[in-house]
Amino acid sequence: MIPFKADDRALSSAITHVLTMAMTTILIAGLFLSSGAMLETQTEMSTEQSLETIGERLAGEIAHVDRLADDGDAVNITTEHPRTIAGSTYRVHPSGDCGSDPLLRDDVQCLNLTTGGGGTQVLVPLPEDLEIDYDSSASSGTIEIGYDQSEDEIRLQ
């Protein structure tokens, strides 16, 4: 009887196929993971930019109320801003200490805009000679800015 020789010719093609499938799976998984992280970073940056834009608009509107109230008259302005940013609501409140922002001096008053989950916070400076109630705040959407004659300060509602 003639002994069989070891025949491994077909084995090479099966191993190549398995290795190709494994490398393809690893590359696709890496692509999904990196695109997910990139999407999260883009959403975060978009949220910050949107909050900055809204904060700058509000700061301008507050300065406008301050100019109108120079005569001591009662002034109320109702403004419309987006209700959500990247699927989250936000809150606005004035602050007399913006030291947590490295680009602002400690004694500068600012608007503090924070998303609902507290994940993103933006500080926008206000004019220095402005009298504003630091205990007032407003939620996203319709924001009322008013001058309180009795307290001689501006309030957010």
Cβ density class 25-44: b for 16+ within 10 Å, e for less:
eeeeeeeeeeeeeeeeeeee
Question: What's the whole-model pTM score?
Answer: 0.76
* CB distance 145 to 121 below 8 Å: no
Element (H, E) at 125: strand 121-125
Q: Greater confidence, 92 or 4?
A: 92
Instruction: Label residue 10 by pLDDT band (50, 70, 90).
Output: low
Give residue limits of the domains in the chain.
Answer: 48-156
Side-chain half-sphere of 117: how many Cα atoms within 13 Å?
9
Instruction: Say if residue 118 is exposed, middle or buried (CB neighbours under 10 Å; 0-12, 13-18, 19+).
Output: exposed
pLDDT digits (tens, 9 = 90+) for 38-85: 888 888 888 999 999 999 999 999 999 999 888 777 889 999 999 999
pLDDT digits (tens, 9 = 90+) for 126-139: 888 888 999 999 99
* CB distance 90 to 115 below 8 Å: yes
**DSSP 8-state symbol, 102:** T
pLDDT digits (tens, 9 = 90+) for 73-89: 788 999 999 999 988 99
Residue 74: predicted pLDDT: 84
